[in-house]
Amino acid sequence: MGSTSGHKNEGLGRRDLIKRSAALGLITVPTMSFLSACASSDGGGDDQVEKGKTSAKNPLGVNETAALDVVIFDGGFGQQYAIDAEKKYTAAFPKAKVKHSATQKIQSQLQPRFNGGTPPDLIDNSGAEQMDMGVLVDKKQLADLTALMDAPSIDDPNKKVRDTLRPGVLEMGQFDGDPVWIMYYAYTVYGVWYSQTNLEKLDAEYPEDWDAMLALCAKAKKQGVAGWTYPGKYPYYLPFSLYPFIAKIGGREVLDKIDNLEPNAWKDPAVKAAFEAYYELQQKGYILKGTPGLTHIQSQTEWTKGKALFIPNGSWVENEAAPTTPKDFKMMVAAPSGLDSSDKLPFGTIWASGGEPFVVPAKAKNPQGGMEQLRIMLSEESSKNFTKQVKSLSAFNGGTDGLTLSTAMQAGVDALKKAGDNVVNPRLQDWYVKLQKEQIGTAGIGEMMAGRLTPAEAIKKIQGYADAAAKDSSVKKYKHQ
């Protein structure tokens, strides 16, 4: 290949060619007006199926012949529970065709359908590719589920669906005001997870206050066992026990203020006390060495191997850690230990909330069908089936009678019973994902627990992030009602 450039009078030189092809590219500019058509093609919307007749058996007025399009997140809970519930739907409406699909890529599969105005009728919007629910609500992409909440439940026609739910589930589905946009189907208990067996080896009981916690950690350290570990790579697991700890010390208003992004919310003395207590664990060497570099699986494995006593986690850990859990491990969960007797809330204050958010898109073809499917899933039978298959509680309050529960699940049920009304539900992680995970979790608490920030520095940094989020007009704001 010799030189081809710069020779005149040889017709089309390389430079000319490049210039001209660039010009060709520029021709496409005037067609810019088509662009809006790309993102805002507003198909669908008006072609919803006709509503069917309402009756005692069909309170939502489902069109009996309309097809139902369900998309399930195929993650830790699998999809079988949904398939089983869909069978019930076809049993009730034999003429309806149910289209079931399961994926882990909720966002990549469904975002184009939302943008094109042809979303499915029911979505399990979960997993790493969860679509931002705040944005969906804000852009009026979701259907109001109030009709479902006010419909009679399957098991008892005199009881509305909303009265069959566990505490906090309904509120979590609301964003501002009364409409319910999301139905969280699973129910997660967050807290401090431990092995009864490993505690017994140390002749110890679960510590109810911080002095007992420190004493136990000191005792464990002598035996070469660390007190705590956590997923250092995802330090936003720490709030699972830290936030209810803060609520226990200073009352739930402290958490509400934090959620509402109020100025100086993090400067509350309760936050400072809780941070200092956790920092003490780090300073005294009660955190398993190497923890800041561990993933959730790696830290859980160290924990099931008995290298550390406690781990902040959620109720999915039982399933997730199952492959490495010894048979006699006796996995348990407890509410966070308190600080001292001056705490505002009693021992037992725990974080529990809904998981697996199900939504019905506003532009779905058959929204009544989507809601009916949820109503079926919220029956005692379906809920039991769910609990049995995936070892998790569902949003249906009850549904565990007659089932033999594992120690971990039983501990979760007991912890909820002990907590009674003192169930807190911090909303940062679903209202402000970036703030919670990346800023507070990773850059704030994570750095503190790795020993690179003092509590005072961490609080200052986190307050800065919260203030910035409060000022950021591109982030939709929410408030506790």
Q: Which residues in this chain contact another protein in the complex, by CB under 8 A?
A: 11-12, 17, 21, 24-25, 28-29, 32, 35, 38-42, 107, 111, 114-117, 129, 131-132, 134-136, 138-141, 232-235, 288-295, 298, 302, 307, 433-434, 437-438, 442-443, 446-447, 450, 452, 474-475
Q: Collapsing DSSP states into helix, strand and coil, what is residue 170?
A: helix
Nearer to another protein, 20 or 479 (CB): 20
Tokens of 228: 């705590």
Q: Cβ of residue 298: shortest distance to another protein, in angstroms? A: 6
Q: Cβ of residue 426: shortest distance to another protein, in angstroms? A: 19
Nearer to another protein, 138 or 340 (CB): 138
Tokens of 260: 């509402």
Nearer to another protein, 168 or 361 (CB): 361
Q: Cβ of residue 191: shortest distance to another protein, in angstroms? A: 23
Block residue for tokens 């956590």: 230
Q: Cβ of residue 421: shortest distance to another protein, in angstroms? A: 34
Please give the backbone phi and psi of residue 464, each rounded to the nearest 5 degrees, phi first. -60, -45
Nearer to another protein, 223 or 474 (CB): 474
Q: Cβ of residue 353: shortest distance to another protein, in angstroms? A: 20
Q: Cβ of residue 233: shortest distance to another protein, in angstroms? A: 5
Query: Are the CB atoms for 350 and 412 separated by under 8 Å?
Result: no
- 42: alpha, beta or left, given left = phi > 0 and alpha = psi -120 to 50? beta
Q: Cβ of residue 267: shortest distance to another protein, in angstroms? A: 21
Nearer to another protein, 221 or 418 (CB): 221
Instruction: Single out the residue of 199, 206, 142 nearest to residue 330, CA to CA.
Output: 199
In DSSP notation, 323-386 reads GG--TT--EEEEPPPBS-TT-SS-TT-EEEEEEEEEE-BTT-S-HHHHHHHHHHHTSHHHHHHH
d(CA 378, CA 182): 14
Nearer to another protein, 25 or 94 (CB): 25
Q: Cβ of residue 427: shortest distance to another protein, in angstroms? A: 17
Q: Cβ of residue 373: shortest distance to another protein, in angstroms? A: 23
Instruction: Single out the residue of 310, 356, 410, 341 nearest to residue 76, CA to CA.
Output: 356
Nearer to another protein, 128 or 218 (CB): 128
Nearer to another protein, 32 or 91 (CB): 32
- 402: alpha, beta or left, given left = phi > 0 and alpha = psi -120 to 50? left
d(CA 302, CA 288): 9
Strand segments, DSSP code E, in 64-218 are: 68-73, 98-103, 122-124, 183-195
Nearer to another protein, 60 or 448 (CB): 448
Nearer to another protein, 24 or 91 (CB): 24
Beta bridge partners of 352: 189
Tokens of 12: 């089309």
Q: Cβ of residue 270: shortest distance to another protein, in angstroms? A: 25
Query: Are the CB atoms for 125 and 373 separated by under 8 Å?
Result: no
Q: Collapsing DSSP states into helix, strand and coil, what is residue 467?
A: helix
d(CA 207, CA 211): 8
Query: Are the CB atoms for 160 and 150 separated by under 8 Å?
Result: yes
